Amino acid sequence: MYAVIKTGGKQYRVAAGEKLKVEQIPADIGATITFDQVLAVGSGADLVIGAPLVAGAKVAATVVAQGLGDKVRIFKLRRRKHYRKSQGHRQPFTEVQFSAIFGADGKELARAEAAAK
């Protein structure tokens, strides 16, 4: 069972129990967040595709970490013009773990198993 969600201007295919780094979401570590922009939910013949969203479908997730991505170097140069510019950028991200997927009728379709201690 999987869902296709939209967050941060991007689309992700997610399943219950997996971790994913998405664009930064203002939430504390350990907080439960809900993604309600679900584009598709189900699997195989049971796949429900929205137009553009599946009404009532949502995906629950827990914030695992907040951080910065790898540094991207930006270097600009104009030859023979005495112009050089060097700059760096680290994109902020939020790492989330998906715990449950709910269908269009609000019924739970998939849940992640509890981690063994």
Q: Using one digit for the tens of pLDDT, what is the confidence trace for 66-83? A: 999 999 999 999 999 999
* Cα dihedral 19, 21, 24, 25 in deg (nearest 10): -20
Output the pLDDT for position 109. Answer: 87
Q: What is the distance, to the nearest Å, from the Cα of residue 45 to the centroid of all Cα atoms in its chain?
A: 25
Q: What is the distance, to the nearest Å, from the Cα of residue 37 to the centroid of all Cα atoms in its chain?
A: 11
Backbone angles phi, psi at 20, to 5 degrees: -155, 140
* Cα dihedral 30, 43, 115, 61 in deg (nearest 10): 0
Q: Using one digit for the tens of pLDDT, what is the confidence trace for 6-44? A: 999 999 999 999 999 999 999 999 999 999 999 999 988
C-alpha to C-alpha distance for 99 and 3, rounded to whole angstroms? 12
Output the pLDDT for position 117. Answer: 44
